[in-house]
Every structure is written in C-alpha cells, then in structure tokens.
Chain A
C-alpha cells in the first residue's frame, strides 16, 4: 500500500481515476444500502447523495473509457476488453433491479465494483 502511494506519479491517470472512483463508489453504495431503509424519508439527503454518486459513476466510466482506449492504442486489447465489461455492468444490474430486491442488487453492484477494483489494482 505504501509502495502504491510512493509510486503514484508513475501510474496512468486513467488507472488512478478508476481506482479512486471505484473505492468511493464501494463506500457510497455501502452507505446507500444501509441508509436506504433507516432514513427512507430523508429525501434531501438521498437527492444530494445520488447526485454525488452519479458524478462518481461518470468519473468511473470516463476512467474506464480512457484506460481502454489507451490500451487499444498501445496494443493491450485484453486489458481494454476486460474493462469494457465493467463499463456495462452497472447498466445491466440497473436493468434487472427491482425495488423489492434492491438489497440483493446493491450487493451485486458492490461485488462487481470490488472485482473491478481488484482488476485495476492488478495493473499497478
């Protein structure tokens, strides 16, 4: 971990964007999953929370696209292909999600983010 922060300047900015947005999204979805039932009527909190999360998801997508395009240009097609899958996963999960099973789909979403974080860290 210390080594990661020591050499942070040497990693591609796109990879760093993926890693940091990924960590924040895992924390965010974790908070959302716990807070959703406890503070169901906290409309303003969830409004701000969702806007922040949407910005983070945008940053995550930009990071993935940036990294994948960079991979394609430099000939690392496998890297690009792996990350492109993570680009679509939030939408696929969102498509199938229902309110009754939101806790289950939140878990799936968090799990896929953890996997994408592990994959991103494997490039460090």
Chain B
C-alpha cells in the first residue's frame, strides 16, 4: 500500500526537481497539493512514502529514524544523477529530514522547511506532557500512542471535518502518533539541532504562529543556527500545523515557488520552448 501512495509529477526534459517529504504518521497525500503547485510552476516533483508509513500502525513502531534518513537520502542521490538542480521540501518531520540530508549533501540547491518540528511544544500537547521523558525512555513507548485529536492541524473547519473522516478510515494517515515514532522523531531532531550549522543550502522556513503541534521556536532555531547565507522565515497568521492544506495554502505555495525560482538557473518550460 505504501508504494501506491507515492507520487511523481514529471515534465519532458525538465532539469530541476523537488523531492518532498511528508510528516510524522502522514503520507504523500498531504503533499499532493503543493506537489501539483510546484509541478505547474515547471518543477518535476517526487514524494515517497517514508518507511513504516502508509501501511499498518504496527510497522511504524518498528522503524528507526535512520531508516527514514537512509531511504530519503537514497532518493536524493538518485534524483541528483538525473537533474541539474534538486531541491528538498518537507512538512513537520519531513522538514527535519530535508535539513538532515542538506547537512550531508552540500549540493542541495534549496530547502523548503514547512512547520519544521524540532520541539513538540504546540498548544494541543496534553498537560501530562511532563511525563513524556518517562514514557519515551522506558518500554512504555511501545504501549503509548498519542491520539490524534481536534483540530487535526487545521484551522479551516470544513477541511478539518473532511480530514477527520478520512483519518478514521486510516486512508491518508494514522489517527494516532505512536510514542515510539515520537521517540525516533525527537532523536532525529536532536541530531538536527546539534548539526544545524552544517546546513549551507538556502532555506525558506514557513511556520504558523498558532501551530498546534510545534511552536515557532523550532523554525526560529533553524533560522538562527543554519549557516546558509540565503535564509528566509515567514510566519503565518491564519493556519495551524498543516500549512500545505490550511487557510493560507495558496500563499504558502506562491512563496515556495518564488523562493525556488530565485535559486534556479534552469530554464522553465516556456523558456525551453523559446530556446528550441
């Protein structure tokens, strides 16, 4: 099932590609709209289901963050053989993954960090969060799953109802966050925080002021600690965590496209036609 969720949008002879990463317990489904917008802006777009995702809730408990990293960096290497310019983009955990890849591969042309999750400190995190270290560092992490609850990362209520219904059927994402998965995300986030200065690629960070899962502290940390000369941080006023689906998604797409276009040296399709 996981491979069925992957998507690729390709043009003919296009020399620039964007590799997108979905969020924790999510699937490529949540990246489809931004993928389509980038495709319409003359980028080839790829998004693969991360290991442990898109199958059963059990399989996600058995993966480690290194599995996500190794498979994603393999996809990046594969794309960089076929394209002159490869950009990375990710939502939530996917943004951390994109940053981790850029730490190792200095030729990453640019990074889109959407709702980057380095800390789980959003306003929907439950009051008993102070017990989390006990849960995370004992075998309890394999028992506990944090149930997905309202607002499902969305400020848009109509969309929230739609996503809630889909999530109950487990068709687009899991309806809970297994603590073992949170444990792996936090380990990857710690690795990313310690190595953030190794990121040299241009970065665009987009984060909601009212993000329900992770506060703007994460994006601010990235902005402050990356070594990139070209870095930009945009704070959204009318969205929650799922910025690629929520109220300001068109604004997010527009900003991402214009950021990538400023970095790209490749010709878009119209320029290619003109050259022919």
Residue of A nearest to B59 (CB): A99
The answer to whether B138 and A94 have CB atoms under 8 Å apart is yes
The answer to whether A100 and B137 have CB atoms under 8 Å apart is no
Residues of chain A within 8 A of B57, CB atoms compared = 40-41
Q: Is residue B143 contacting chain A, with contact meaning CB distance below 8 A?
A: yes
Q: Is residue B276 contacting chain A, with contact meaning CB distance below 8 A?
A: no
Partner of B146 from A47, A95, A98 at Cβ < 8 Å: A47
Partner of A50 from B58, B137, B140 at Cβ < 8 Å: B140
Residue from A49, A95, A99 with most neighbouring chain B CB atoms (10 Å): A99
The answer to whether A93 and B147 have CB atoms under 8 Å apart is no
State the main secondary structure of chain A at its contact with B.
Answer: helix
The answer to whether B128 and A58 have CB atoms under 8 Å apart is no
Nearest-Cβ distance from residue A100 to partner chain B, whole angstroms: 6
Q: Is residue B275 contacting chain A, with contact meaning CB distance below 8 A?
A: no
Residue of B nearest to A108 (CB): B139
The answer to whether A106 and B139 have CB atoms under 8 Å apart is yes
Partner of A46 from B62, B131, B137, B143 at Cβ < 8 Å: B143
Residues of chain A within 8 A of B146, CB atoms compared = 47
Q: Is residue B144 contacting chain A, with contact meaning CB distance below 8 A?
A: yes
Q: Is residue B145 contacting chain A, with contact meaning CB distance below 8 A?
A: yes
Given A51-B128, A98-B62, verify A43-B147 contact (CB < 8 Å). Answer: yes
Nearest-Cβ distance from residue B68 to partner chain A, whole angstroms: 15
Within 8 A of A (CB), among B128-150: 128, 131, 134-135, 137-147
Given A51-B128, A54-B131, verify A40-B139 contact (CB < 8 Å). Answer: no
CA distance A94 to B132 in the complex (A): 13
The answer to whether B62 and A99 have CB atoms under 8 Å apart is yes
Residues of chain B within 8 A of A98, CB atoms compared = 62
Residue of A nearest to B64 (CB): A98
Residue of B nearest to A93 (CB): B139
Given A36-B143, A50-B144, verify A58-B176 contact (CB < 8 Å). Answer: no
Within 8 A of B (CB), among A81-124: 90-91, 93-95, 97-100, 102, 105-106, 109
CA distance A53 to B134 in the complex (A): 9
Partner of B134 from A36, A40, A58 at Cβ < 8 Å: A58
Residues of chain B within 8 A of A99, CB atoms compared = 58, 61-62, 142, 180
Q: Is residue B175 contacting chain A, with contact meaning CB distance below 8 A?
A: yes
The answer to whether B62 and A55 have CB atoms under 8 Å apart is no
Given A57-B134, A94-B138, A99-B61, verify A49-B145 contact (CB < 8 Å). Answer: no
Instruction: Show 11 A/B contacts (Cβ-Cβ < 8 Å), sorted by A.
Output: A29-B139, A41-B57, A43-B147, A47-B145, A49-B144, A50-B140, A51-B128, A53-B143, A95-B137, A97-B142, A102-B142
A: residues with CB less than 8 A from B are 29, 32, 36, 40-41, 43-44, 46-47, 49-51, 53-55, 57-58, 90-91, 93-95, 97-100, 102, 105-106, 109
Additional A-B contact list (15), CB under 8 Å, known A93-B139, A99-B142? A40-B58, A44-B147, A46-B145, A50-B135, A51-B131, A53-B143, A54-B128, A54-B140, A57-B134, A57-B138, A94-B138, A94-B139, A97-B139, A106-B139, A109-B138
